[in-house]
Each structure stands twice: as structure tokens, then as C-alpha cells.
Structure 1
Amino acid sequence: MLHSEESTEEMLDHFQDWRNSGEMAEVNGTTTTTVRPPALRMVIKKSYSIENGYTSRNRSLIEDAKFEHHEHQVQERAIRQHRRQSISQQFGKDIPEEEEESGDLLLLSEWCDQLDSHAKQAIVPSTLVLSLKTGLEILPELLLILQKYQVHVVHIETRSSKKRNGAFDVLVSVRSSVVALLTGAKELKHVKPLAELIILSEQQLSIKDSWFPRRIAELDNCNHLMTKFEPELDHDHPGWSDAAYRKRRQAIADVAFTYRHGDTIPDVEYAPEEVETWRLIYRQLKELQPTHACKPYRDIFTMLEKEGIYAEDKIPQLETVSRFMKSRSGFSLRPAAGLLTARDFLASLAFRVFQCTQYIRHASKPNHSPEPDCVHELLGHVPLLADPYFAQFSQEIGLASLGVSDEEITKLSTLYWFTVEFGLCKEYDTIKAYGAGLLSSFGELMHALSDVPEKRQFDPFLTAIEPYQDQTYQDVYFVADSFEDAKEKFRMYTASIKRPYAVHYDPYTQSIDVLDTAEKLLTRFEDLKTDVDRIHGAMVTLSNAGSVKG
């Protein structure tokens, strides 16, 4: 955790160190570092505090997303400037300030420079999407540029532009080395009739795509970006003046920093005063569950108690809870030292992994915590994440976040806030709570289902831009007809998100497939066809069995 501004060189060093720890290899007798792509990602090194420009007193996923977006922009500008200075020193001439998209090519150059000589010259298939401002008369010039840099064209398709009347989009399949592709792309960017250039490659060379984990084990990399919320930074934090609490909290947080995918989550031995805080909140909330909590939440909470996992006289251990969730919905828990960056937190949901804190709020304020703690996670989130329908909705939010812009991350964080955290749903002729922020807060649960706040029908397009309240109770809550209704509406919303590919979660390999080629789509289609055939066969069997009984 850094509490002061870093120099450009230091920040670049941190960026280089993180962006993939790398592997040492011998190339032509020289030790070099081979960096695993992708690398174009920023690391937030500042603590989330008012002193460092964080705009809110309390931590929330939405404010995290806004803070991260700002810090990413600051760090990108610094890294691009550092790159310009390096090029200027190398060639003895100044590099002028460039447009934002050209700056992305500078970052891609920085990434390319880290590859070993074999990786640079290896021939890889790629696809260029060229959006033209005019007609196809400029196409020969663009193809000549590719030819000049030995970027070999394999296939070309054209279509009328959906953005500009009279213009065209051109899809060009090519084969070339990474260096040749990069060099050709740089010159293409200077052709004025070219409105936009997107690069798709098996080596993930897209200069616009954000990094995201492709395999569940890569969530270990997300965990390395954890930024600890430190009570000593905020005078209003209940634990600010309690040195013993801060030390205890740090000891619990250390469990998360050493955890790796596949490890058994270590148990935490909670102190008697911590269990007493849990008992007080547990009793209060359980009294409200029959009248205020939705039925799926109540049903699974009852299961947790019957299996001896939940009780008022003990704080559940994450490993035990995780095994229960896995058997019910496929979700699992992973220990967290605090709030992840918004992008990393949402990405974890795509793998049906929930990042869960183990420390508990300060005993002086049992009904309030400025950031998530185990009370919020275990009493608020866990029961519904063990419900298959709600688990699917949560995973949909995670999948929608992969590779999208910072602006979209902010909108998705807002959607998460008003649904998973503070959502309401209809249950017959009444309204019940399903949001974890409500189900883990006695006061706000009472407030949300009173006549005081405004209640609106859930519409993700409007919800995503709704201002939210983090200083006191919400003024507005959104009501879904059901989990299925919320999921279908959310799918309509995600279809509007601009992303040059679709993603699919493979539960067998616990990995993300990027569906950006016809071959991948065909494979996915065959998988779906097999599932549909199997379901059809089951329907026929049931139908025949019914006829025999009749």
C-alpha cells in the first residue's frame, strides 16, 4: 500500500513487475524475461482513502469503479509519457503528443518489447477489423501497407457500416509475426479515411481489450491486486483508535494474501467478543426473516442451520460454507482481505467464485460497518448464492464484466449495487428483500420495506445510471418480478454492451472461452446441440412412460 505519489519510473517498474511475474529463459546465450500476454493492465497502488482522492467516506463497489477508472487514466498517461521519453532517447528525437488511440499503440509496443526474439518472430493468425469513414476506394492503399510489412492477407470480407451511411467495415484475416503486425498497425492508424482499427489474435493483441482471467487459477493474480482498507486512514472508522482491533484484523487479512486456488481455506479462531457481535446481529436479523426476506433466502438459511453450519453461538468457517455452496449451486468462496477492485471482484463471479472477508466489524458499532465484513458476506450473500437461480444471475453479471471498458464496469457495479446488494422482489402480493446489504442490516431492512423510500420497477437500462446513496439508507429501491425476470432483463442489457466478442464459461475446465472466431462458435453450437438432443430424448422417455401408465 502506497500513501504517496510514485515517480513515473517507479510506477512503470510496478506495472512491469505485476503485469505478469514472467519466466526467465535463455535466448541466444542471454537471459531474458518472457512475459505471458496479455499485459495491458494497470495496478492501483494507492489506498482507497479520502487522502488519496477517494470521493466517499464508505467503501462501495461503485465508488471503487470510479476511483479505479481515474487512477487507470493517470497511470496510462504516465506510462505513455515514459514510453515516448524512451523512444526519444533511443532515436535522438522527440516524439510528439499523440491521440489516445495512438497512445494505446505505444502501450502495445511496450508489451511487445518484453517478448523474447522467438515470440516476436513467430507467425500467428490474426484478424483486423477496419472501419472506414468512406467507401472501399481506400482499401487497396490499406492492403499495400500490410504487404509492405509482410502481413500476409488470407481472407477479406466487407459489409456496409452500421455506424456511418455510405461507409464500410472490412474484416481482414492475416498471418504475420507480432512485430510485423504491430508495425503495420501503426502505419494504418495514420491513414485518415480509417475511422477505427481493432486487432483480434490468438495471442490477445487487441489494443483496446482489458485483461481478465481466463482460468479459475488466475484469480490468484486478481487477489494480488488487493488493496486493504485501513481503519487508521479514516478517523470516522469505528476501529480507528483501537490498535488491538487493527492488529487482529491484519492477522485475519494475512490469510487471504497467502491463499492460492486449490488451497483449503484456513479456519479463523474468533475471540469471544467477536462471537458476541455475531450473536447480537444474528438474533436481530433472524427475527425479521419471516416477514422481510424472500423465500429462497429463508429456505437455504434453514438448510444451513439444520446442517449445523449456521448458529448464533459461532461464526461459520469459510471452508465449511464453501463446500455447502458448491454442492448447491456450484459457487465457492475465496478468502479476501477486503474489497477487490471492482473489475476483479466482478470477474470472480464469472467463475462462480465469491470473494469473502473473514474479519468482523468493530464491537462498538455492531449494526454498522463502513465496508463488507463476514457478517455482511455470510448472513447477506451466502444463502442466495447457494440458490441455483440467483447464482446464475450473479454469474451473468460477472461474465458481462469481462473485457469491457471502465465506464461499463461502473454501470455494472451500479447494477450490482441495486440488485445483489439492495434488491427487492415480488413474492405473490408482497415485496421481499433479496439484496445482501438489506439482509445483513436490521435498520435498512426495516427501512427498505417501509413506505418511506421510493420503489421502482427494475429496468437495468435505468438502474445502471441511477445515483446511489452510501452515507445513509437508500432513497430508491428497484423491484424485480422474480429472479428469472431480473436475469432476462439483464441479458437484454448486456446485449447492448460494446465488446468485439462474446464469452462463455466452461464448467468442466473452469475456464472462460472467448468466442471470437467462427470455429469457436461452431464448437459451442455442437455442444448446445448435444445438450438439446439429450433433453429431447429425456422428454420422449417421459412421454412414453406416461402413456404406458395411462
Structure 2
Amino acid sequence: MLMGIFAAHKVSITEIRSTPDPLNLRKMMVSISFEGDWESENVKQLVARLRSYCAAFSRGAPVDVPWFPQSPEDLDRIASHTLDAGKDLEADHPGFLDAVYRKRRQEIAAVAKNHRGGQAVRIIDYTPQETATWKHLWGILTDLYPTLACNEYNEVLTELRDAGLYGPDKIPQVAEVNEYIHAKTGFTLRPVAGLLAARDFMNALAFRTFFSTQYIRHHSAPLYTPEPDVVHELLGHAPLLANPVSTVHYYSFLDATQRHDDHFSQLLGLASLGASEEDTVRLQRLFWFSVEFGLLSNPGNAGELTAYGAGLLSSPGELRNATYPTNNKVKILQWHPEDAAQQEFPITTYQPLLYAAESLKDVRDRLLRYIQKNIHKPFSTRYNKETGALHVSTDVRLPRDSLRF
């Protein structure tokens, strides 16, 4: 009856919770979240009708949660909050003593800092030296991909090459790659000046927005970079962001016709919105051991491993280290998010522990089950891929001192 009343007033229920009334165990207390405006006529009529069935009726108070973006426009508020806050390179960076490189990094970072959502991404005029660094890495990595990268990655990389977007002789432009990715999965690459906090970075994934650097690593150490660069973003991440196979399909338990199509990166993003600090750490670890350093095993050939993680696919050393069948310096475990969420990881050495799933479907299905079972928040969120808007099931109150400007 309850769902019929909402349907009659054309109001969609997003969440229902019920508990016994502590004063009368034969009665129930029901909490309902819905999609609608309290001031709209159909919601007013709905409320009036519900009151006639209830012994008591009240509107819930807003829930206090950590700040999170509630619209694509809010991403402008976090884009400039990089962890280095615009500082110069650290003393151990390969380009620290190169004044020309440091100036160039600042120029490219300034382009990213001036970017706003909805604007066209600026074309970067890469120098011959930068292009040579890309070409060197392209040659090494593309020799490894046929046997060490997963099939889904290789399929998209072939399409990107055939479309003239990827190749050895020029660094791909984020603006051009964006059009391809968005047409495939709705994801958008957005320029950023440097590393973001894990919460901010994952929050953007909820909107199918992937913050991407545009500078390239120093030419003196092409096989090493202490932070993400354009090689990591465009060779590591972009191909699988464009692969629809990485999308998980599931249905609302309230409406079997309401299908959700979320990329597994977006699943982590949606889960991170308003999450506790403890849950954010768990989600960051899951991102690390899947999107960054995930492996796939071959059930038909024991010991054969291929990579789908961007940290592996953009580093020849990491890729070889992770997939070499007799390497006893890295421990490979079966993909279990419950275990991976508890594991710490190093960021300056080769990974000593990695997880291998049976397939990308296995990755996303286990992620979805883990999130549904273990990430608890007083509200739920749903992304509308047609409008780019985010629906929050419950009124939330964000702390004023954490708003970004």
C-alpha cells in the first residue's frame, strides 16, 4: 500500500527503513527517503495523505556528514586543492635541479588551475623533449602490453591508435581523448595541477569525472615518476575508463525497472561521498589494489597474470615485477575486497602485495557487494547519467568550516 501511495503521487522512493516502535512492539516506525521537493504540489498532497494513515508524522532533521560535492559545479571547489598546494618540486624529484623543467611544470599547472567545469580543455603544446620522453615509454610499454596487459585494455588501446588519438610521435591531448571516453562511458578527464587528497579525488569519480595531470615526467628518468603524470593518466587509466565492460549493472531493490550503470571507479566514488574517515581509508585501499594495481588471473593457465591497474600499465618495471611468474618478491592473493581494504601499501617502492581477480566482472561484482555490505552512511546517492546530477536520498548538512572556495 505504501509504495502505491507514492506511485499515485508520482514520487519515487529511494530508501525505506523500518524498526519496531519501542513503546508498542505491534507498531512500526518507518523512515522513508524520496526524490522530490517538499514545496512541490504533488509532495504536499502525498504528505497530507500519509498523515491520514499515521499515528505520528514528522520530517527528519538534516544529517551531519563530511563535506562532499553535490553537483558537478562543486568540483571547481576541490580542483585547486592539491596536496602540494602549488609548492615547487621536492628535493628528491628527478627534475628538482632542472630550472627549465620546473618552470614548464608551473606553466602546465597554471593551465589546470584556471580550468573550470564545462570549459573546453586547453591544448598543451608539448615540446620535442617532452614528446621524446613519451615516445621512449610508448615503445617499451607497447612491446609489453600484448602479453602483460588484459584483453579489455588492449582492445581499447587498439581503437585509440586506429582513431589517431594515440601513437608514438605525439603526446595525446586530454581534450581529444575526452571526446572518445565520454562517448563510450560518460567519463570525463578534467585537468588538475597535481595530487588531490584521496577523498576529493574519489568524490569526483562519483560524477564520472577523473582528475588528470597534463605534465610529463622528467626526461632524465623516463621509467620513474614520484607522482601521476600524463603517461600514467592516458596510458594507465584512460583506456579502461573508456571500456563499457568495466561497468556494473544492478537494480534498485525498490524498483526492479530502475537499472544503474556505474563504472567500478564510479562505485568507489559514490561510496566515498560523505563517508567517514575510516571508510575513506578503506575505499582508498580498494582503489589502490584494483584501479591502480589490479591484476587478472587466467583460470585456464595457472600462474598467468595480466594487468588492468594503471600503476602497472604505466610503469615497465612495475608491470614486469607484478606479472613475472617466478618472482617471489611480490605476493599475489585472490581478489577479496574485505582483505584488501585492510592492507596498507608503499608508494615509493615496487608493490610487495597485489590482488588478482578472475575477470573485470569479478572485480566490479565483489566491489559492489563489499560496498553494499560494509560502507554504512545515513543516506544513499544516485547519479543521473542523463543530466549529470546527483540525487541524495536524505537532507544533509555540511560543516560550514569545510566548504571549499
TM over 0.5: yes
Residue 295 (structure 1) aligns with: 151
Contact 1:231 1:240 (C-alpha < 8 Å) held by counterparts: no
Query: Which of 88, 93, 102 is the equivalent residue of 1:246?
Result: 102
- Cα deviation, 1:386-427, whole Å, max 9, x if unaligned, reads 001225111111111111011111110111001000000124
CA–CA separation in structure 2 for the residues paired with 1:365 and 1:171: 58
Shift of 1:511: 1.1
TM-score by length of 1: 0.57
Residue 411 (structure 1) aligns with: 282
Name the aligned partner's letter for residue 364 of structure 2. Answer: K
Residue 215 (structure 1) aligns with: 71
Moved over 6 A (4+): 170-173
Residue 235 (structure 1) aligns with: 91
Residue 108 (structure 1) aligns with: none
Q: Does 1:394 align with 2:249?
A: no
Residue 437 (structure 1) aligns with: 311
Residue 177 (structure 1) aligns with: none
Which segment drifts farther, 389-398 or 459-468?
389-398
Name the aligned partner's letter for residue 319 of structure 1. Answer: A
**Change in 2 beyond 3 A, CA 1:434/1:440:** same
Shift of 1:499: 0.3
Contact 1:231 1:239 (C-alpha < 8 Å) held by counterparts: no
- Structure 2 counterpart SS, 1:240: coil
- Cα deviation, 1:166-208, whole Å, max 9, x if unaligned, reads xxxx9699xxxxxxxxxxxxxxxxxxxxxxxxx954xxx322x
- Structure 2 counterpart SS, 1:320: helix
Contact 2:89 2:95 (C-alpha < 8 Å) held by counterparts: no
Q: Does 1:343 align with 2:199?
A: yes
Name the aligned partner's letter for residue 316 of structure 2. Answer: F
Shift of 1:491: 1.3
Contact 1:254 1:337 (C-alpha < 8 Å) held by counterparts: yes
- Structure 1 counterpart SS, 2:63: coil
Name the aligned partner's letter for residue 380 of structure 2. Answer: A
- Cα deviation, 1:336-375, whole Å, max 9, x if unaligned, reads 1011121111011111111100000111110111000001
Contact 2:186 2:385 (C-alpha < 8 Å) held by counterparts: no
CA–CA separation in structure 2 for the residues paired with 1:444 and 1:243: 29
- Structure 2 counterpart SS, 1:264: coil
The residue correspondences of 1:267-346 to structure 2 (distance < 5 A) are 267-346=123-202
Shift of 1:463: 0.3
Contact 1:228 1:337 (C-alpha < 8 Å) held by counterparts: no
CA–CA separation in structure 1 for the residues paired with 2:76 and 2:166: 28
Name the aligned partner's letter for residue 290 of structure 2. Answer: T
- Structure 2 counterpart SS, 1:489: helix
- Structure 1 counterpart SS, 2:356: strand
- Structure 2 counterpart SS, 1:310: coil
- Structure 2 counterpart SS, 1:282: helix
- Cα deviation, 1:135-187, whole Å, max 9, x if unaligned, reads 659xxxxxxxxxxxxxxxxxxx856xxxxxxxxxx9699xxxxxxxxxxxxxx
CA–CA separation in structure 2 for the residues paired with 1:282 and 1:267: 20
CA–CA separation in structure 1 for the residues paired with 2:32 and 2:270: 28
CA–CA separation in structure 2 for the residues paired with 1:510 and 1:460: 28
TM-score by length of 2: 0.77
Contact 1:351 1:505 (C-alpha < 8 Å) held by counterparts: yes
Query: Which of 308, 327, 333 is the equivalent residue of 1:456?
Result: 333
CA–CA separation in structure 2 for the residues paired with 1:354 and 1:434: 17
Shift of 1:245: 1.1
Name the aligned partner's letter for residue 206 of structure 1. Answer: V
Residue 385 (structure 2) aligns with: 507
Q: Identity of counterpart residues, as a percentage?
A: 43
List gaps (5 residues or longer) in structure 2: 1-16, 34-58, 248-262, 396-405
Shift of 1:331: 1.0
CA–CA separation in structure 2 for the residues paired with 1:395 and 1:343: 13
**Change in 2 beyond 3 A, CA 1:200/1:211:** farther
CA–CA separation in structure 2 for the residues paired with 1:419 and 1:505: 22
Shift of 1:239: 1.6
- Structure 2 counterpart SS, 1:360: coil
Name the aligned partner's letter for residue 388 of structure 2. Answer: Q
Residue 354 (structure 2) aligns with: 477
Contact 2:335 2:357 (C-alpha < 8 Å) held by counterparts: yes
Say which structure, 1 or 2, has more relative contact order (CA 8 Å, 6+ apart): 2
Name the aligned partner's letter for residue 384 of structure 2. Answer: D
- Cα deviation, 1:290-338, whole Å, max 9, x if unaligned, reads 1100001001101111111001110011110000101111111100101
